[in-house]
């Protein structure tokens, strides 16, 4: 089953890439590089989505995440650290604590995952098993459907969220000197 | 050796493999969140966390209930929420930067005790 | 609105009236308070009469009763789904306590006639406090009881903190917190009773009809007893009392030592012993031992005190020990003695603190060695002081003797559940305190009032004013009336003590 | 059917209306915004009452209304309304002293709009019946608050915002991860369907743990509470008040949604954990409050300890649990807002936030001091104030489920809390006023707000009316989820 | 008591004997005293005279009109009682009046002496500030003493016992601005209080057994009685039950223990060694008070109590022995000290102690087989009341004239104060036991009782002390009235006013003639089996001759040493050296007490307790507060302000919950 082999190989390749990018992202001292590595992780994630059969999501991931959010983050970096793009190192203690915590989280959770039995759908025996074929259309319909399977409500809620984030962002970031300060 | 590899590769990654991957990404994100000194760096780590959450939804959608698209929809919302968080976070960091001339979180301890 | 509700409502209305009186005229405020409490005194007399009319026909039948019988009862659902009611009524014990409180608050108002700083707040808080106290004594729903219980404790903080002397903030805080910790344990006990009884009611009578297994009783009883004991100055939770009393203004000390500390003994008897007879049987001897320490320790502690208020506070620790001792001794006489001791000590210590306040107001010192020969310039106060002192050492003819002898007899006679020899030894040890009391009381009195005048400016001090005379005179008269005619009080309370004892025997069991 | 979502619609429409009006009126005339908002909130409340006996679902069951949602929504609207009333002086600026150090808040229109958006988020949160709606509305109820917390744009506000946003993002990520596991365990997003499909397993515990962290963040449960102190301190005081009441209420609602609806089947498994966390939260919150000097920080720790009491209601499937928690939440909201009313009044007038700045308030402003004292006593749970009654009911649940030790811990904690509340009372009543201190001016709105909240706080405790209604409506609710 | 019997007016209205002084006390104290001091004195005195008349009438009715009275059968009964204090059912204490020979006898004594002292005091205290107060107290004392005497039950006895103690306290401290008086009052009260502790505990034990036996005994015994009633407690069947069921504690039978404890109370009040220390100091009170309280009435209450409880004492023979030996020892001990004192009142006080010792050992040596001691003791109590009161009042008269208490400040007063002198002489002779004065009869009866009961050692002590009594009393007499006046005060002394002299004369008459009363006819030990004990009166020459001889010897010695110049006695005292100083310092008993109370109890019990309370117990409370605060500030250190630290807590919180849930689920599943 060559498909499977490709699938698996891709999985491990992208996984390795994503993990390396992620590690690089959290350990680099240059914040802009971190943004770049983040982009790598997110890109790899898009690939994961494709592997998982969520092509639409992969597109969204590339467009919104890589194209939007990371750019925004880069702007943020520019706006906030114009004169020191190189970050100082965190203290050893903090690194140690973080290492212990994240490692134990990883250890415990992956232990649980490996030991857990999932109610894996029987229809899913291979990558090409039957599933909703046109996910893009299905998602589009679902987002505006008011019925049983519809997501119009969270969709509207998220629009309110984005709106208020927008308004808030403007209010906060607007360049005015606060009154009465020092 | 080669046989082993092939038989290994022939078995497509199972739900737990995916989960371990997402858990690894999540843990790395946590590490970043707990160590980065630049607030924006922390925000990036948060993206990593949210991303692995979204990944979870998609992989579960794929493996557990391929008959619907709930997981994928959730991932879309997660991406939107991540965007909103970044917007707000960025605004706050920028405003803070105007006041304190830095966004090093280790120096953000004027209030404590 | 029945009569009993008015007992609580009247002080509350007086509080309101005080609040509404313009603050600029402290004279008017005093009068409002005096009229309100005076009216309460009349109301109490009337209620007592009504109670007597209602209750006296039942006296013979109460001898075998297993449940407390209440009179002039008013019931109203409150938080219905929880079974919480507004349930007030009277039995003999609460009637006695109401009389005590009514007397003390009236005399307390009289004794605070010269409070000039923030008069309005003072009287408002004082009356709030007393509203709580009346509430406790009439409520027979444990929730309501607890509400009033805390209401009675808290105003103390401000009363001591604002109008007190010395390290007042410290004392006020200590007092409030210790009492609140005590009430926390009470709360645990009350809730446990409610849920374990399965009656879905906080009504004391209903709870009394439920059965509790003995393990449960064993752990809840000490919770309740210690919880109430904190307010009753149970050793070693008594240390709020010396500091608190020493810092408190006159009327507050009077009310606190006179009435509030009684809530402890009252609650221990009314709730802990009544509801948990087996717990009481299990722990009785232990608490007798602890209260014996109280009694001796308080009296020895009083010997070396230099400050009159500390002196009286330690004596209160000792005397309140008798109350709890009586409660823990679990028999008819000791219960009766405990109740009479509550009444007696209330009046006596009210008198003591009132007098100390009056003397302090004149000499501006409470340090015993600094005073001397005051009897010459203030014969009235000296006489009253001597009377209070003699009453406190249990001189027959005053109520203290009636109480203490009952407690001693009760302790000595023992009960079926505890080792009689141990009880007797404890009783005898407790009895020894009468000598120690005599020592410290007489030493103190002799130093302050007798002998030559020690300070030239004492020569020009004046004797008691009219309000002070009314206040002290009333208390002295009460002491003497109860002491000379103990039947008045005994007839009032006796029928209500029977159920407590009968329950112990009916729901008994050896461990 | 339409009326089910009417309150939310009214709130959202009001938000847009405000946004629109704000665009077209001059700065001076923007004072009309506040009344407009309040009218909108009033209308939403009316809508809730209008729908009250009606329960049902919309959007294919993603949105539902039942007896519990009414009370939560009503509560959120009320706390938003009071928060707005408390903000008026700072926004419209009529009563702020000229030399006060507290800067006026700007951007009224945006302020109200964002508040209303978060309000709508909370309302959706209560009604959400699937993971996705729940998560999205939770974010709507959270993310705009980051903005509000740093609205003042001074250093402290920025720091507060930073901490809030980072911790908020972390919490939201953890919660999301937990949700994803729930989804993975059952393949469902519908809360009811999830609860049917769950069986106890380590994976479930991992999901629960992650979810608890998200809830703990909202409700400030130890050890997820650390952000609260700084955020409360740095945020504008009305927002602090809002965070301490509405946001916490949202947390409680979230916990209702998850612990009753989803995990209700095996409460015995998490019961002890709840007890432990309740004990930890109230104890550490109280201990933290003892040493505070800044009144807002102080209130933060007080609020933390209150959260510990609140979750006692989750200890067991008692008939009264729901009513007790809702009642306590109500009581807490009203009482806390009364206290914040006085704090806002005081800091508006003096610009000071230290506890010692309250010295002698009883002599300069006796009524405000009285209100503050009653409010604080209410928080400490002193009878006959409603705070006591509320706590009593919660303790009763712990007692009924056999957690007597927790009752003891909680009751002793009440005493500790009394200690620090009394510190303020001491400043107000016992300490003399600073030399030359004059009576501070009380604006009518604040005066009215404080008065009504204090009165309500007393009345809730004395009159059983409110509790009885809540109890009557909600007593059967839990039996649907918890066996 | 036979209900159909006709009672006379006084017996029917017996309550008046308490009511008169009580209401007089109230009215004088509350209403008259503030208005007029003079009126207070008059009213108080009149009231007591009225009471005295009533008591005489009552005594007459009791001893002469009741059926069988003339045959010498005097039954005890309770003519009046009301319920006073109901401890519980079957445990009721009533307030009442018990009439039996000794109570009626003491009513007479108390009212007589009291009324005379009242009268005397109107003169003695004339013009003093506390005049009204004084009479109030005196009335209170009279009431309490009468209550004690008439008590039908042990609780009333105790109540009045305490009340006489209190009024004694008030009267000793009458001069409250004089520190010595205050100290003496305090001492008197505390010492007797300490003794009363024994009484109280004894009473508890008795009460308990009384209550227990009460239910077990047939109604014929308990009819109309209560467990605390004397008539019940002293009932022979109760005594038998005591012996049978009383049990023991530490090897002592409980009945003995309780009687010894009760005797402790009695010893305190009657100032038996070692509880005697208060009585000499009590002389700080005004002299009439000393006469009334500390000589004639209150101090004999202890004797009275022992007599009252005699049947129970008799049940426990050991307790009686204690009574006898303590009495005898005190008798000797006090007489020894009496020989060395200089303060006239102190000499009298020690003589009182000594005489009380007589009474006590007289009771101690008697038994149902040898009942003479009982009668003798009561007889001596009776006569002693008069002559000792007379001595005190006489001394008061002298002090009033000389303004000093020391006998060495007096001298040569026999010319200046003839009436005082003569009456004092009569009293001296009476106490010395010279025929035919009253003391002779009663003392002889005591001595012969001791001899007859076989307690020869006690008899010898009694005989020796008789001589010593004569010696030290004559010493006082000679030093005071003979020789030259030694001070200005003595020089200017003049006779007291008539109000003071009249009581002296009346008492002198009593002192002379009361010995001739056929006392055994009226007072004798009721035999346990009904009927009267065979007490015989009359003079036993075998005793009378030696006792008279030693008395005369004592007087002679006193005359030899003191009638003229004092060099002889100085030489003698010098030669005795340490022994003399020890005796003069009252064997340093006071110092021992002072050491025990101040140095041991105050310093090693009270002060440490106070310290312990403030530092350890209170320290514990403060420590918990401190600990809480420390925990708070420690905790606030975790609030570092570092958002990533918070994040770490957050994540560890998640892991923590996970572990908790996991472990719990292990336990459950």
In a domain, D435, yes or no: yes
Task: Determine the pLDDT at residue E517.
Answer: 80
Per the structure, the count of domains in chain C is: 1
Asked if residue E325 lies in contact with residue E362, where contact means CB atoms within 8 angstroms, the answer is no
C-alpha distances in Å from residue D1, one per residue of D5, D43, D51, D68, E377:
8, 18, 10, 18, 110
C-alpha distances in Å from residue E288, one per residue of A169, E189, E291, E421:
103, 19, 5, 17
**C64 secondary structure, DSSP code:** T
For residues C155 and C330, what is the distance between their CA atoms, to the nearest angstrom? 33
Q: What is the value of ipTM here, to two decimals?
A: 0.90
Domain that holds residue C222: 3-506
The fraction of chain D above a pLDDT of 70, given in percent, is 97
The partner residues of A79 in beta bridges, in order of sequence, read none
Task: Determine the pLDDT at residue E365.
Answer: 87
CATH code at position A52:
1.20.120.1200
Mean pLDDT (whole number) for E572-586:
78
In a domain, D33, yes or no: no
DSSP H helices in D25-129: 33-51, 67-92, 108-127
For residues D97 and D347, what is the distance between their CA atoms, to the nearest angstrom? 10
Mean pLDDT (whole number) for E472-477:
86
For residues C331 and C427, what is the distance between their CA atoms, to the nearest angstrom? 13
The pLDDT confidence band at residue E125, using thresholds 50, 70 and 90, is confident
B24 φ, ψ (degrees, to nearest 5) = -65, -45
C-alpha distances in Å from residue C212, one per residue of C186, C361, D405, E441, E577:
17, 53, 19, 74, 78
Which residues in A have their CB inside 8 Å of a CB on E?
94, 97-98, 101-102, 104-105, 108
The answer for residues whose C-beta is within 8 angstroms of residue E408's C-beta and 6 or more apart is E342, E479, E486
Residue D288 C-alpha, separation from nearest chain B C-alpha, in angstroms: 9
What sign has the CA pseudo-torsion D208, D211, D216, D222?
positive
In a domain, D43, yes or no: no
For residues B65 and B55, what is the distance between their CA atoms, to the nearest angstrom? 15
The partner residues of C88 in beta bridges, in order of sequence, read C74, C139
The pLDDT confidence band at residue A123, using thresholds 50, 70 and 90, is low
Distance of CA A38 to the CA centre of its chain: 9
**Cis peptide bond prior to C391, omega within 30° of 0:** no
Asked if residue A10 lies in contact with residue B17, where contact means CB atoms within 8 angstroms, the answer is no
On chain E, the residues whose CB falls within 8 A of the CB of A97 are 648
Do residue E621 and residue C239 have CB atoms under 8 angstroms apart? Answer: yes
On chain A, the residues whose CB falls within 8 A of the CB of B95 are 172-173
For residues E465 and E139, what is the distance between their CA atoms, to the nearest angstrom? 35
Task: Determine the pLDDT at residue A128.
Answer: 43
In a domain, C309, yes or no: yes
Q: Is the pLDDT of residue C333 over 60?
A: yes
For residues A21 and A111, what is the distance between their CA atoms, to the nearest angstrom? 23
Asked if residue E366 lies in contact with residue E450, where contact means CB atoms within 8 angstroms, the answer is no
Joined tokens for residue D164: 């809030």
Mean pLDDT (whole number) for E290-316:
86
Q: Is the pLDDT of residue C32 over 60?
A: yes
The pLDDT confidence band at residue D371, using thresholds 50, 70 and 90, is very high
Of A60, A87, A114, the residue at which a domain comes to its end is A87
How confident is the prediction for chain D on average, in pLDDT?
89
Do residue B35 and residue E651 have CB atoms under 8 angstroms apart? Answer: no
Distance of CA E22 to the CA centre of its chain: 20
| Cβ of residue E646 closer than 8 Å to a chain D Cβ | yes
The pLDDT confidence band at residue D93, using thresholds 50, 70 and 90, is low
| Cβ of residue E665 closer than 8 Å to a chain D Cβ | yes
The answer for residues whose C-beta is within 8 angstroms of residue D455's C-beta and 6 or more apart is none
Subunits in contact with chain D (3 or more CB pairs closer than 8 Å)? A, B, C, E
Mean pLDDT (whole number) for E504-530:
78
The answer for residues whose C-beta is within 8 angstroms of residue E381's C-beta and 6 or more apart is E106, E109, E300, E303, E304, E359
DSSP H helices in D311-384: 321-350, 361-364, 366-380
Q: Is the pLDDT of residue D281 over 50?
A: yes
The answer for residues whose C-beta is within 8 angstroms of residue E251's C-beta and 6 or more apart is none
Q: Is the pLDDT of residue E526 over 80?
A: no
Do residue B27 and residue A165 have CB atoms under 8 angstroms apart? Answer: no
Do residue D289 and residue E632 have CB atoms under 8 angstroms apart? Answer: yes
CB atoms within 10 A of CB D126: 29
A83 φ, ψ (degrees, to nearest 5) = -100, -10
For residues E517 and E521, what is the distance between their CA atoms, to the nearest angstrom? 9
Cβ-based burial of A93 (10 A; exposed 0-12, middle 13-18, buried ≥19): exposed
Mean pLDDT (whole number) for A12-23:
93
Instruction: Please tell me the least confidently modeled range out of D110-119, D318-327, E65-74, E340-349.
Output: E65-74
E366 φ, ψ (degrees, to nearest 5) = -90, 165
For residues D242 and D230, what is the distance between their CA atoms, to the nearest angstrom? 15
In a domain, A163, yes or no: yes
pLDDT tens per residue, range C233-268: 898 888 888 888 888 888 888 888 888 889 999 999
Mean pLDDT (whole number) for A109-132:
68
The pLDDT confidence band at residue A129, using thresholds 50, 70 and 90, is very low
| Cβ of residue E668 closer than 8 Å to a chain B Cβ | no
Distance of CA A72 to the CA centre of its chain: 14
Domain that holds residue A167: 132-174
Per the structure, the count of domains in chain D is: 1
For residues C310 and A48, what is the distance between their CA atoms, to the nearest angstrom? 80
Task: Determine the pLDDT at residue D1.
Answer: 67
Task: Kindly state the helix (H) or strand (E) to which residue D407 belongs, with its residue range.
Answer: helix D404-425
pLDDT tens per residue, range D430-462: 888 888 888 888 888 899 999 999 999 999 988
Asked if residue D72 lies in contact with residue D249, where contact means CB atoms within 8 angstroms, the answer is yes
For residues D301 and A84, what is the distance between their CA atoms, to the nearest angstrom? 37
- Angle formed by the axes of helices D386-400 and C142-153, to 10°? 130
Do residue A165 and residue B62 have CB atoms under 8 angstroms apart? Answer: no
Asked if residue C231 lies in contact with residue C260, where contact means CB atoms within 8 angstroms, the answer is yes
Task: Determine the pLDDT at residue D302.
Answer: 93
Asked if residue D209 lies in contact with residue E658, where contact means CB atoms within 8 angstroms, the answer is yes
| Cβ of residue A128 closer than 8 Å to a chain B Cβ | no
Task: Determine the pLDDT at residue D337.
Answer: 95
Asked if residue E434 lies in contact with residue E511, where contact means CB atoms within 8 angstroms, the answer is no
Asked if residue E360 lies in contact with residue E344, where contact means CB atoms within 8 angstroms, the answer is no
The answer for residues whose C-beta is within 8 angstroms of residue E226's C-beta and 6 or more apart is E90, E91, E92, E93, E94, E153, E214, E232
Task: Determine the pLDDT at residue C511.
Answer: 41
Distance of CA B22 to the CA centre of its chain: 9
Nearest to E664 by CA among D200, D312, D222: D200
Q: Which of D166, D290, D419 to mutate to test the interface with E (most CBs of E within 10 A)?
A: D290
| Cβ of residue E643 closer than 8 Å to a chain B Cβ | yes
Joined tokens for residue E637: 């250190």
Per the structure, the count of domains in chain A is: 2
In a domain, D13, yes or no: no
Mean pLDDT (whole number) for B73-97:
91
Q: Is the pLDDT of residue D128 over 60?
A: yes
Joined tokens for residue D323: 């009513």
What sign has the CA pseudo-torsion C124, C128, C129, C133?
positive
In a domain, C511, yes or no: no
Mean pLDDT (whole number) for D212-220:
92
Do A147 and A65 belong to one domain?
Answer: no
For residues C390 and E193, what is the distance between their CA atoms, to the nearest angstrom? 12
Task: Determine the pLDDT at residue C138.
Answer: 93
Do A140 and A67 belong to one domain?
Answer: no
The answer for residues whose C-beta is within 8 angstroms of residue E218's C-beta and 6 or more apart is none
In a domain, A109, yes or no: no
Distance of CA E425 to the CA centre of its chain: 27
| Cβ of residue E257 closer than 8 Å to a chain C Cβ | no
| Cβ of residue E642 closer than 8 Å to a chain B Cβ | yes
Task: Determine the pLDDT at residue A126.
Answer: 45
In a domain, C179, yes or no: yes
Q: Is the pLDDT of residue D358 over 80?
A: yes
Asked if residue E225 lies in contact with residue E299, where contact means CB atoms within 8 angstroms, the answer is no
In a domain, D73, yes or no: no
Asked if residue D63 lies in contact with residue D57, where contact means CB atoms within 8 angstroms, the answer is yes
Distance of CA B76 to the CA centre of its chain: 14
- Start-to-end CA span in chain A (Å): 71
Mean pLDDT (whole number) for E449-458:
84
Residue B77 C-alpha, separation from nearest chain D C-alpha, in angstroms: 7
For residues C259 and C103, what is the distance between their CA atoms, to the nearest angstrom? 10
Q: What domains lie within chain B, and their CATH numbers? A: 2-104 (1.10.287.3510)
Task: Determine the pLDDT at residue E183.
Answer: 87
Beta strand C71-77 with C85-90 is: antiparallel
Task: Determine the pLDDT at residue D395.
Answer: 92
Q: Is the pLDDT of residue E4 over 60?
A: no
In a domain, D417, yes or no: yes
Q: Is the pLDDT of residue C101 over 90?
A: yes
Mean pLDDT (whole number) for E275-294:
85
Joined tokens for residue C349: 């210590």
Asked if residue C144 lies in contact with residue C194, where contact means CB atoms within 8 angstroms, the answer is no
What sign has the CA pseudo-torsion D429, D435, D439, D442?
negative
For residues E206 and E604, what is the distance between their CA atoms, to the nearest angstrom? 34
For residues C324 and E196, what is the distance between their CA atoms, to the nearest angstrom? 24
Distance of CA E295 to the CA centre of its chain: 10
For residues E270 and E377, what is the distance between their CA atoms, to the nearest angstrom? 13
C249 φ, ψ (degrees, to nearest 5) = -70, 165
Task: Determine the pLDDT at residue A127.
Answer: 44
Q: Is the pLDDT of residue A180 over 50?
A: no
Instruction: Please tell me the least confidently modeled range out of A140-154, D430-444, E532-546.
Output: E532-546
- CB < 8 Å from A in window 18-77 of B: 18-21, 23-32, 34-41, 43-45, 47-48, 51, 54-55, 58-59, 61-69, 72-73, 75-77
In a domain, D299, yes or no: yes
C-alpha distances in Å from residue E527, one per residue of E33, E368, E523:
48, 6, 12
Cβ-based burial of D265 (10 A; exposed 0-12, middle 13-18, buried ≥19): middle
The pLDDT confidence band at residue C510, using thresholds 50, 70 and 90, is very low
| Region of E90 on the Ramachandran plot (φ > 0 left; ψ -120 to 50 alpha; else beta) | left
């Amino acid at each position: 089953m060559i498909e499977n082999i490709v699938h698996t190989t891709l999985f491990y390749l992208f996984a390795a890439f994503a993990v390396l990018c992620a590690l690089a992202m959290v350990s680099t001292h240059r914040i802009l590089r971190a943004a770049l590595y983040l982009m790598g992780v997110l890109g790899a994630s898009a690939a994961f989505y494709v592997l998982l059969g969520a092509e639409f999501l992969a597109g969204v991931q590339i467009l919104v995440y890589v194209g939007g959010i990371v750019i925004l983050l880069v702007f943020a970096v520019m706006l906030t650290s114009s004169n020191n793009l190189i970050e100082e190192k965190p203290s050893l203690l903090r690194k140690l604590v973080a290492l212990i915590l994240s490692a134990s989280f990883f250890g415990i959770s992956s232990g649980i995952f490996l030991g857990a039995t999932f109610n894996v759908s029987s229809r899913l025996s291979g990558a090409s098993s039957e599933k909703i074929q046109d996910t893009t259309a299905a998602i589009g319909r679902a987002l505006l459907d008011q019925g049983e399977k519809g997501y119009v409500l969270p969709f509207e809620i998220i629009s309110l969220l984005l709106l208020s984030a927008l308004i808030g962002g403007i209010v906060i970031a607007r360049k005015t000197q606060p009154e009465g300060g020092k | 050796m080669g046989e082993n590899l092939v038989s290994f590769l022939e078995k497509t990654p199972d739900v737990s493999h995916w989960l371990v991957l997402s858990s690894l990404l999540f843990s790395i994100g946590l590490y970043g969140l707990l160590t980065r000194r630049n607030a924006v760096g922390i925000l990036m780590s948060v993206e990593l966390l949210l991303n692995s959450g979204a990944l979870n939804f998609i992989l579960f959608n794929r493996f557990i209930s391929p008959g619907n698209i709930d997981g994928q929809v959730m991932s879309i919302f997660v991406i939107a929420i991540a965007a909103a968080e970044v917007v707000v976070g960025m605004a706050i960091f920028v405003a803070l930067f105007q006041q304190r001339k830095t966004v090093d979180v280790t120096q953000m301890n004027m209030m404590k005790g | 609105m029945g009569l009993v509700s008015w007992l609580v409502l009247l002080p509350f209305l007086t509080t309101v009236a005080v609040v509404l009186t313009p603050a600029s005229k402290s004279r008017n405020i005093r009068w409002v308070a005096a009229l309100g409490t005076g009216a309460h005194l009349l109301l109490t007399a009337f209620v007592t009469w009504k109670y007597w009319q209602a209750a006296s026909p039942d006296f013979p039948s109460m001898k075998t009763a297993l449940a407390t019988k209440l009179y002039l009862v008013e019931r109203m659902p409150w938080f219905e789904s929880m079974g919480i009611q507004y349930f007030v009524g009277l039995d003999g014990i609460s009637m006695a306590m109401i009389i005590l409180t009514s007397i003390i608050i009236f005399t307390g108002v009289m004794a605070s006639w010269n409070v000039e700083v923030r008069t309005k707040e003072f009287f408002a808080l004082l009356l709030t406090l007393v509203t709580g106290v009346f509430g406790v004594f009439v409520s027979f729903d444990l929730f309501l009881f607890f509400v009033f219980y805390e209401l009675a404790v808290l105003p103390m903080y401000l009363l001591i903190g604002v109008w007190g002397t010395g390290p007042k903030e410290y004392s006020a805080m200590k007092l409030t917190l210790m009492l609140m910790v005590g009430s926390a344990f009470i709360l645990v006990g009350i809730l446990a009773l409610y849920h374990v009884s399965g009656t879905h009611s906080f009504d004391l009578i209903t709870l009394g009809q439920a059965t509790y297994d003995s393990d449960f009783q064993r752990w809840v009883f000490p919770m309740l007893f210690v919880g109430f004991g904190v307010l009753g100055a149970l050793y070693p939770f008594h240390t709020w009392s010396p500091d608190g009393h020493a810092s408190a203004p006159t009327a507050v000390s009077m009310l606190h030592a006179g009435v509030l500390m009684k809530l402890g003994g009252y609650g221990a008897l009314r709730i802990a012993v009544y509801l948990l007879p087996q717990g009481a049987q299990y722990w009785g001897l232990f608490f007798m031992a602890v209260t014996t320490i109280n009694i001796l320790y308080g009296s020895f502690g009083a010997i070396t005190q230099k400050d009159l208020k500390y002196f009286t506070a330690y004596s209160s620790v000792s005397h309140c020990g008798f109350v709890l001792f009586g409660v823990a001794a679990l028999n008819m006489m000791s219960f009766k003695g405990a109740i009479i001791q509550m009444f007696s000590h209330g009046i006596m210590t009210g008198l003591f603190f009132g007098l100390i306040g009056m003397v302090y107001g004149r000499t501006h010192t409470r340090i015993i060695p600094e005073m001397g020969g005051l009897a010459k310039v203030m014969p009235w106060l000296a006489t009253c002081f001597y009377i209070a002192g003699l009453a406190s050492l249990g001189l027959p003819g005053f109520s203290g003797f009636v109480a203490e002898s009952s407690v001693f007899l009760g302790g000595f006679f023992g009960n079926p559940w505890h080792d009689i020899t141990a009880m007797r030894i404890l009783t005898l040890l407790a009895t020894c305190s009468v000598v120690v009391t005599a020592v410290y009381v007489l030493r103190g009195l002799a130093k302050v009032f007798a002998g030559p005048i020690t300070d030239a400016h004492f020569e020009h001090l004046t004797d008691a004013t009219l309000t002070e005379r009314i206040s002290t005179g009333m208390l002295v008269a009460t002491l003497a009336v109860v002491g000379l005619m103990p039947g008045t009080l005994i007839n009032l309370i006796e029928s209500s003590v029977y159920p407590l004892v009968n329950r112990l025997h009916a729901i008994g069991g050896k461990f | 059917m339409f009326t089910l979502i009417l309150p939310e619609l009214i709130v959202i429409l009001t938000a847009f209306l405000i946004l629109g009006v704000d665009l077209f009126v001059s700065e001076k005339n923007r004072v009309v915004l506040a009344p407009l908002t309040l009218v909108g909130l009033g209308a939403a409340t009316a809508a809730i009452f209008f729908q009250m006996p009606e329960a049902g679902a919309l959007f294919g069951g993603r949105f539902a209304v039942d007896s519990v949602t009414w009370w939560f929504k009503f509560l959120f609207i009320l706390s938003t309304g009071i928060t707005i009333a408390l903000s008026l002086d700072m926004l419209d600026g009529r009563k702020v002293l000229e030399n006060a150090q507290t800067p006026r808040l700007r951007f009224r229109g945006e302020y109200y709009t964002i508040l209303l958006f978060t309000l709508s988020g909370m309302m959706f949160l209560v009604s959400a019946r699937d993971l996705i709606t729940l998560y999205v509305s939770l974010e709507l109820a959270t993310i705009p608050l980051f903005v509000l917390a740093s609205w003042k744009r001074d250093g402290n506000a920025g720091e507060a915002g930073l901490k809030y946003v980072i911790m908020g993002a972390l919490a939201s990520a953890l919660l999301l991860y937990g949700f994803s596991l729930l989804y993975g365990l059952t393949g469902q997003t519908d809360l009811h369907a999830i609860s049917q499909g769950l069986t106890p397993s380590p994976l479930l515990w991992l999901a629960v743990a992650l979810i608890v962290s998200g809830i703990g963040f909202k409700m400030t449960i130890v050890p997820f509470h650390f952000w609260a102190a700084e955020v409360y301190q740095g945020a504008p005081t009305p927002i602090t008040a809002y965070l301490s009441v509405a946001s916490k209420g949202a947390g409680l609602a979230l916990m209702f949604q998850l612990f009753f609806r989803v995990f209700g089947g095996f409460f015995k498994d998490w019961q002890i954990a709840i007890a432990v966390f309740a004990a930890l939260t109230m104890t550490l919150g109280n201990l933290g409050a003892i040493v505070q000097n800044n009144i807002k920080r102080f209130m933060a720790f007080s609020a933390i300890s209150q959260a510990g009491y609140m979750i006692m209601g989750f200890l067991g499937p008692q008939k009264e649990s729901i009513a007790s928690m809702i009642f306590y939440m109500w009581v807490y909201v009203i009482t806390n807002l009364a206290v914040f009313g006085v704090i806002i009044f005081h800091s508006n007038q003096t610009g000071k936030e230290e506890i010692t700045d309250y010295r002698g308030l009883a002599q300069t402003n006796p009524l405000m001091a009285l209100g503050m004292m009653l409010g604080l006593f209410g928080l400490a749970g002193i009878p006959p104030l409603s705070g006591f009654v509320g706590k009593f009911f919660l303790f009763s649940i712990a007692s009924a489920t056999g957690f007597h030790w927790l009752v003891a811990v909680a009751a002793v904690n009440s005493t500790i809390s009394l200690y620090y509340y009394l510190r303020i009372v001491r400043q107000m009543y016992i300490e003399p006023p600073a030399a030359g201190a004059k009576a501070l001016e009380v604006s009518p709105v604040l005066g009215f707000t404080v008065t009504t909240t204090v009165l309500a706080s007393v009345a809730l405790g004395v009159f059983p009316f409110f509790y009885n209604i809540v109890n009557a409506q909600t007593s059967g609710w839990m039996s649907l989820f918890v066996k | 008591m036979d209900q159909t019997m006709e009672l006379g007016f006084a017996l029917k209205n017996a309550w008046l004997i308490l009511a008169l002084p009580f209401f007089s006390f109230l009215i004088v104290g509350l209403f008259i005293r503030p208005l007029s001091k003079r009126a207070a004195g008059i009213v108080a005195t009149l009231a007591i005279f009225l009471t005295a008349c009533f008591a005489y009438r009552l005594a007459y009715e009791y001893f002469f009109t009741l059926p069988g009275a003339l045959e010498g059968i005097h039954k005890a009964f309770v003519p009046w009682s009301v319920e006073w204090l109901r401890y519980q059912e079957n445990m009721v204490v009533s307030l009442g009046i018990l009439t039996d020979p000794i109570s009626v006898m003491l009513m007479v004594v108390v009212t007589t002496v009291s009324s005379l002292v009242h009268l005397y005091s109107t003169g003695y205290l004339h013009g003093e500030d506390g005049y009204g107060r004084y009479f109030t107290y005196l009335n209170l004392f009279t009431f309490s003493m009468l209550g004690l005497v008439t008590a039908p039950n042990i609780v009333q006895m105790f109540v009045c016992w305490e009340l006489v103690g209190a009024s004694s306290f008030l009267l000793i401290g009458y001069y409250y601005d004089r520190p010595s008086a205050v100290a003496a009052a305090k001492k008197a009260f505390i010492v007797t209080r300490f003794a009363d502790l024994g009484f109280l505990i004894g009473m508890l034990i008795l009460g308990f057994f009384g209550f227990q036996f009460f239910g077990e005994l047939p109604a014929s015994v308990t009819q109309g009685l209560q467990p605390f009633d004397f008539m019940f407690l002293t009932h022979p069947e109760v005594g038998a039950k005591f012996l049978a069921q009383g049990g023991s504690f530490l090897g002592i039978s409980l009945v003995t223990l309780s009687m010894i404890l009760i005797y402790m109370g009695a010893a305190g009040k009657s100032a038996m060694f070692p509880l005697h220390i208060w009585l000499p100091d009590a002389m700080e009170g005004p002299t009439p008070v000393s006469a009334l309280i500390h000589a004639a009435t209150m101090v004999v209450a202890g004797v009275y109590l022992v007599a009252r409880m005699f049947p129970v004492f008799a049940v426990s023979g050991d307790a009686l022995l204690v009574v006898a030996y303590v009495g005898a020892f005190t008798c000797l001990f006090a007489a020894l000290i009496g020989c060395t004192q200089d303060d006239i009142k102190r000499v009298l006080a020690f003589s009182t102690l000594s005489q009380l010792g007589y009474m006590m050992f007289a009771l101690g040596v008697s038994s149902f087989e040898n009942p003479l001691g009982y009668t003798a003791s009561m007889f001596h109590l009776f006569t002693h009341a008069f002559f000792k009161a007379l001595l005190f009042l006489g001394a008061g008269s002298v002090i009033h004239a000389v303004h000093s208490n020391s006998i060495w400040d007096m001298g040569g007063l026999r010319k200046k104060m003839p009436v005082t002198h003569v009456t004092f002489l009569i009293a001296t002779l009476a106490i010395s036991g010279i025929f035919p004065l009253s003391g002779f009869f009663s003392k002889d009866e005591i001595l012969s009782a001791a001899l007859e009961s076989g307690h020869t050692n006690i008899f010898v002590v009694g005989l020796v002390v008789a001589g010593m009594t004569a010696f030290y009393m004559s010493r006082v007499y000679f030093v005071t009235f003979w020789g030259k006046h030694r001070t200005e005060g003595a020089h200017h002394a003049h006779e007291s006013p008539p109000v003071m002299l009249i009581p002296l004369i009346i008492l002198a008459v009593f002192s002379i003639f009361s010995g001739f009363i056929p006392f055994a006819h009226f007072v004798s030990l009721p035999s346990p089996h009904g009927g009267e004990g065979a007490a015989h009166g009359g003079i036993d020459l075998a005793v009378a001759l030696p006792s008279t001889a030693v008395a005369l010897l004592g007087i002679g010695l006193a005359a030899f040493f003191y009638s003229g110049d004092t060099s002889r006695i100085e030489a003698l005292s010098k030669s005795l050296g340490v022994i003399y100083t020890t005796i003069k310092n009252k064997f340093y008993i006071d110092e021992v007490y002072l050491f025990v109370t101040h140095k041991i109890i105050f310093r090693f019990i009270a002060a440490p307790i106070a310290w312990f309370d403030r530092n350890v117990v209170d320290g514990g409370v403060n420590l918990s507060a401190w600990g809480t605060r420390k925990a708070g500030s420690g905790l606030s250190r975790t609030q570092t302000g570092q958002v990533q630290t918070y994040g770490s807590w957050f994540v560890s919180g998640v892991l923590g919950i996970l572990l908790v849930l996991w472990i719990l689920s292990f336990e459950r599943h």
